Structure 1
Amino acid sequence: MQCQWLNNHPNKVSEVSLGNLEDKQATQSLEVTPVHFKTQFAGYMEMYSDADTVANYLNAHQRWFCRCAAPMKTEPIGNNGYILTVGRFGSFGYDVEPKLAVVLEPSVNGVYDMHSIPIPDEPYLGYEVDYQASMSIKEIPSHLANSGLEKAFRKHDNPQLPEMITKVEWHLAMDVAVQFPKFIHKLPLSMIQKTGDRLLTQIVRQISPRLTYKVQEDFHSGHNLPIPPKTSRHLEKIEESSLDEAA
C-alpha cells in the first residue's frame, strides 16, 4: 500500500529524495520528544450463523488470519501473535514502512481483546505503535439484520433464512509515537500533527474494511453460506468531541 501524507497540500514542502534523506538522517539525530498521532474507530460485521459457530472460527485464527490480512505481510509469533507490516508511507521526504506486533487474546465471555506488544528481536525503528482493540459477539434475530440478508440467501439458492445471526462488534484505538529527524521539526507542529492524524485515519479506513470483508468471505465460504453484502459491515471514526462528551 502506498500512501502520501500531503498530496496537493498548499503548504507542501519540496520532496526530498531518499538519498538526501539518508544523508540527513546520518548527520542529524532524531528529535528526543516523539510526536503522537491518534485515531479511534468502531465497527461491526454480521455473520450468518450462530454465535458458537462464529466463536469457533474466531478462536482458530491461526487458520485464517494471515490469509485474510493479505496483502499486508504477516508473520505468526507464539500461539496468538502476529507481526504485521502495514506498507510504506510518508511525506516531507520522510518515509517509513511501519511494523507492529499484536496479540489476539483468547475470548472471555465472548469478548476478544487484541493489543500491541514490542516486536521481538527488533531494534528501535524510530516509532512506537500502541494498538488496543476489543471485539464482542452476540446473537441477534435475523429480522434485525441489515438489508440484504434475504437477497443473499435467495441468490445462494437457499430460501431458508436463519432465525438468528451473529453480530461482531469492535472498537479500536491507535496511538503512534514517531521520533522524526530534527529537520522535520522545522515545520509547524500543527501541520505535522494534522497530517499524521489524517494519514493514520486513512490507513485504518483502507485496511479495516478490506480485512472485514475477507473474514466474512472466508467464514461464509467455508460454511457454505451466502456472502453478506456491503450493508452487513460498518466502520466509523470516533471523533474526539464524542469521547469528551462520553467522559
Structure 2
Amino acid sequence: VELLTDNGYILTIGSFGAFGYKVEPKIGLELLPQDENSYQIRTIPIPNHVSPGYELDFQASQTLVEVPAREYFQEHQLESQSIPSAITRVEWHLDLSVDMWFPKAIRKLPQSLIQRTGNGILQQVVRQVSRRLTHKVQEDFHNSNGLPIPKQSQQRQNLR
C-alpha cells in the first residue's frame, strides 16, 4: 500500500495470470471520513497510470460492529483465558467491477475455460483487497481511538 493523498492509497493487488498472460493490478482507493462506525471506500484515479488490459471500479463499505465477546467466542467455539467485554467485528459490502481485455490467442480458448479462470483470479483479487483494507481500517480505528492493535489469533493467522 502506497500513500497517494491524505486518505487515498495505491494498492498493488499482486501478480495474477493464466495461460502465459499476467497482470499486476493497481488501484487507487480513497478511504472517506468515518461516519459513525462506517467507512466508505471508492476508486480514485492514479496519476500517470495506464491500466494494461484491465479496468477496476471498487465501491465498498466497512462497518465496525461491537459484539459481546463471550457470545462471539461461544459461537465460534473459541477459548480464551481473558475475554474482554466486547470485540469489534468488521462487516463488508463490496461492489467490484472488473473488465479485462485478453490477447487474441487467449480469446481462442473455450469461453467456459476463460470464465472459470477469470472467476478464480477475481476471487484471489477480492481476498487480497479485503485482507489488506480490513487491516488498514482496523489499524486506523485503533490508532484514532488510542487503542493497542490486538494480536491476531493463531486460528486467523492460519487462514492466511
C-alpha displacement of 1:189: 2.0
* Structure 2 match to 1:95: 22
What is the alpha-carbon distance in structure 2 between the residues aligned to residue 191 and residue 80 of structure 1?
39
Label 1:150 to 1:214 Cα distance change in 2 as closer, same or farther (>3 A).
Answer: farther
What is the alpha-carbon distance in structure 1 between the residues aligned to residue 58 and residue 148 of structure 2?
34
Label 1:130 to 1:79 Cα distance change in 2 as closer, same or farther (>3 A).
Answer: same
Aligned mate of 1:150, from 73, 80, 93:
80
What is the alpha-carbon distance in structure 2 between the residues aligned to residue 214 and residue 79 of structure 1?
14
Is the Cα contact below 8 Å between 1:140 and 1:164 reproduced in 2? Answer: yes
SS at match of 2:60: strand
* Number of equivalences: 152
Q: How does 1:216-231 map to 2 (within 5 A)?
A: 219=142, 223-224=147-148, 227-229=151-153
What is the alpha-carbon distance in structure 2 between the residues aligned to residue 226 and residue 78 of structure 1?
27
* Structure 1 match to 2:114: 192
What is the alpha-carbon distance in structure 2 between the residues aligned to residue 111 and residue 190 of structure 1?
38
Q: Gapped runs of 5+ residues in structure 2?
A: none
> Which amino acid in 2 is paired with 1:118?
P
SS at match of 2:56: strand
C-alpha displacement of 1:224: 4.9
> Which amino acid in 2 is paired with 1:76?
L
SS at match of 1:145: helix
TM-score (norm 2): 0.75
Q: Gapped runs of 5+ residues in structure 1?
A: 1-73, 154-160, 236-247
* Structure 2 match to 1:137: 64
Label 1:135 to 1:118 Cα distance change in 2 as closer, same or farther (>3 A).
Answer: same
Label 1:85 to 1:232 Cα distance change in 2 as closer, same or farther (>3 A).
Answer: closer
SS at match of 1:196: helix
* Structure 2 match to 1:126: 53
CA shift digits 1:170-199 (9 cap, x unpaired): 122322101112222111222111111112
Is the Cα contact below 8 Å between 2:32 and 2:41 reproduced in 1? Answer: yes
Q: How does 1:44-123 map to 2 (within 5 A)?
A: 74-123=1-50
C-alpha displacement of 1:135: 0.5
Percent identical: 47
TM-score (norm 1): 0.51
Q: How does 1:12-51 map to 2 (within 5 A)?
A: none
C-alpha displacement of 1:207: 5.7
> Which amino acid in 1 is paired with 2:28?
A
Is the Cα contact below 8 Å between 1:112 and 1:134 reproduced in 2? Answer: yes
